[in-house]
Every structure is written in structure tokens, then in C-alpha cells.
Amino acid sequence: MVAPLKRVVRSDLWIDGAFDECLAREKDVALRVFPVRGDDAGASEALAQAHVYHISAAKDELPQAWFARKALLDRCPNLMCVSAGGAGYDTVDVAACTAAGIAVVNQSGGNAVSVAEHTLGLMLGVSRRMLEGDRRMRREIGYAREDVMGHEISGKTIGLVGIGHIGTRVASLARAFGMKVLATDPLLSPEEIGRRGARPVQFDELLAQSDFVSLHCPRDASTLRMMNASAFSAMKRGAIFITTARGGIHDEAALVASLQSGHLAGAGVDVWDQEPPALNHPLLAMDNVFATFHVAGVTHEARRNMGLISARQIVGVLNGERPPRLINPEVWPEFERRRIRILG
């Protein structure tokens, strides 16, 4: 008896070839790729037949018509799983998926090494004033080296807001540089935070004691605009703010104001409200801001790893295995009932 065909659908936004190659080895899985622009009817038809929708997590690259929201889910009667291509899932309405009996998975941890390394790069770049030195060397002659003299990070304190896969890796790298590590994470016990390499503290204490505050938490209702004017003013004068998390967790206008006032010495910003930000964004005009375009997790190694774990997790889900990165665990009993009904 031939097993029923399991249909996986993704958009034509860039993904490492390891994803397609891995699924191609599964004899009962068919992958279909739809264009995000130019053929709405074809895209809708593909999604209407999908069992799994592997969705881009890039909210400013994927057109909103293809976000996994209720209107789209209502047109996909056989959809059992939405697989976000990154650690974030800004393009997915998790509550709507749960109500429809659809499992939501992400790829948390798949790019942890790359994001952690980028975090340290931002810290070093701002603290040692590397960008200022690079820019001045390209446009000036005769300035003194002491004009761009920075600070070592050894002996300084870093405060991690969130110590999951990425935060734990950052803690390890920071300790290797001789830094003291603090962390706050409402999802973990103080004992577990300690096991992950940091001293557990409350959020207010972390802001007050840290020379660097680095965000590694998800964007949700509890973290939106968490780093606001009050939070920035609670940081040590001369401290440096780093974020490789998600745009919207920090208030960009408040960060601009804190930098302009001189309260903060600098910032390393990889994530933005709008990505990429407008060329006239005030943060881009500041020499003490190291700005990157949501590329902390964009390395050859991380993208391949994300492609592989995405495909392998999808295959497991289609076979009825509980996925290791399930965002809405409460959906699982209904998912199992639907999987049996749809796939037999």
C-alpha cells in the first residue's frame, strides 16, 4: 500500500539548499515552492493543499498576504503545522493556529553560535570604537589615535535579558573575555540561570549594574517596548546597549534620546522596527552606533543548520513525532487527532 503523500509548501524567499535536499530524500513527502509575488492564485492553491507551511520569519520580506493568520488558515483545511524558518515567528498568529488545531514550530538554537558571535562583535566594535576609527581613517589625516581610544571589555559586567540557547552561548563567550555575567529570565529558575553561566538578578538590578545590556528574549506582549525611556535611564551612565533579539523590544526613539543626551556611551543594533531602517534613521547618523541589518544569524553555517533542523523537524511532525521546538504545546492532542484524520 502506497503511503499518502505529505505536502510541504514554502515560499520562494531564499533558504539554504539543505532544506530542499533533506525533504527530497523522503519518498512520501512532496515539496512545492510558491512565488511571493506575481502568482497569487498559484500560491493560494498550493497553500490550500499543504499539510505543512514552512514560513519565512522575516516580517518585512514576506508579503503580509502570506502571513499565517486566520484569513489564510481558513483557506487551508489540511494544514497541520506552520514551521517558522527562524527562531522568531513574527509572521505567525500562534493563537489562531492553536484555535485551528495547527502546531507551530520554530528553529530556536539553530543559529545560536552565529548570533552569539555577532553579539560579541557588536560589543567589541562599540567599546573599542572600531567603527569610529575606520570611518575617520577613511576621511581624515592628522587626528590622534587617542581621539578614538576605547575601553576593554575584560572585567566589565554584561547583563543578559534572556538566557536561552543564544544567551547561554553569549555568557560562555563573555566569560572567556573575563567578563562578569548577570542574567534575568522569567522562564527559568535562579538555579537554572546559574547552571547556564550567569548570576540571576531581577531586571532592575541588571540594568543598574551592567556595563553592557544585551537582549536575547523573544518579542511578545510581555517584552514589547520593554527597553523604553525609563529602562534606558535606569542603565549605568556610560553603559552600552546591544540587541540581536527582535525589533520592537527596544523603543528606537528612546534609544536615540539616551544616546544624544550622553547617558549611554553607544549601542550595537542588529534589529529594527522596520527592516532595513530608512537611510535617514537618526541611529545611522551616530558614530557610536554599530548598525547591522538583522544579520546576526545570517552565516553560511547557521543558514545550513537552520535548513537541516527545519526539514528534519517537519519530517518528524508528519510522522506524528512531538517536535522539540513546539511553540504551542497545548495544541498537541488536537494536532494528533487531525493528523490521523488527514493522513490516516
Predicted confidence (pLDDT) per residue in 244-253, tens digit: 999 999 999 9
Q: Which is catalytic among the residues 10, 169, 246, 339?
A: 246
Using the predicted structure, report yes or no on whether residue 90 has a pLDDT greater than 80: yes
274 and 316 in a common domain: no
Looking at residue 71, what is its pLDDT?
Answer: 96
Using the predicted structure, report yes or no on whether residue 48 has a pLDDT greater than 50: yes
Q: Give the torsion sign (CA, 213, 219, 220, 224).
A: positive
263 and 142 in a common domain: yes
241 and 117 in a common domain: yes
Using the predicted structure, report yes or no on whether residue 3 has a pLDDT greater than 60: no
271 and 224 in a common domain: yes
d(CA 266, CA 322): 43
Looking at the domain assignment, is residue 152 inside a domain?
yes
Question: How does pLDDT run across 272-326, given as a tens digit for each residue?
Answer: 999 999 999 999 999 999 999 999 999 999 999 999 999 999 999 999 999 999 9
Looking at the domain assignment, is residue 192 inside a domain?
yes
273 and 137 in a common domain: yes
Looking at residue 1, what is its pLDDT?
Answer: 43
For this structure, is 294 an active site residue?
yes
Looking at the domain assignment, is residue 327 inside a domain?
yes
Using the predicted structure, report yes or no on whether residue 238 has a pLDDT greater than 90: yes
For the chain, percent of residues with pLDDT exceeding 90: 94
Q: Which is catalytic among the residues 54, 294, 303, 338?
A: 294
Using alpha carbons, list the distances in angstroms from residue 262 to 136, 256, 267, 280, 288. Answer: 21, 10, 12, 21, 11
Q: What is the CATH number of the domain that holds 225?
A: 3.40.50.720
Chain center to CA of 289: 20
For this structure, is 341 an active site residue?
no
287 and 171 in a common domain: yes
Grid cell in block for residue 33: 515552492
Using the predicted structure, report yes or no on whether residue 111 has a pLDDT greater than 60: yes
For the chain, percent of residues with pLDDT exceeding 70: 99
Q: How many domains does the chain have?
A: 2
Using the predicted structure, report yes or no on whether residue 331 has a pLDDT greater than 90: yes
Using the predicted structure, report yes or no on whether residue 113 has a pLDDT greater than 70: yes
d(CA 158, CA 173): 11
Looking at the domain assignment, is residue 324 inside a domain?
yes
List Cβ neighbours of 50 (8 Å cut-off, separation of 6 or more): 7, 8, 9, 32, 76, 78, 79
Using the predicted structure, report yes or no on whether residue 2 has a pLDDT greater than 80: no
Q: What integer best gives the mean pLDDT of the chain?
A: 95
Using the predicted structure, report yes or no on whether residue 230 has a pLDDT greater than 60: yes
97 and 137 in a common domain: no
Looking at the domain assignment, is residue 264 inside a domain?
yes
What average pLDDT does the segment 246-263 reach?
97
129 and 46 in a common domain: no
182 and 102 in a common domain: no
Looking at the domain assignment, is residue 28 inside a domain?
yes
The domain containing residue 48 runs over which residues?
A: 6-108+300-343
322 and 250 in a common domain: no
Confidence of residue 4 (pLDDT cuts 50, 70, 90): low
253 and 137 in a common domain: yes
Looking at the domain assignment, is residue 151 inside a domain?
yes
Looking at the domain assignment, is residue 1 inside a domain?
no
Using alpha carbons, list the distances in angstroms from residue 228 to 101, 204, 225, 248, 255. Answer: 36, 13, 6, 10, 8
245 and 233 in a common domain: yes
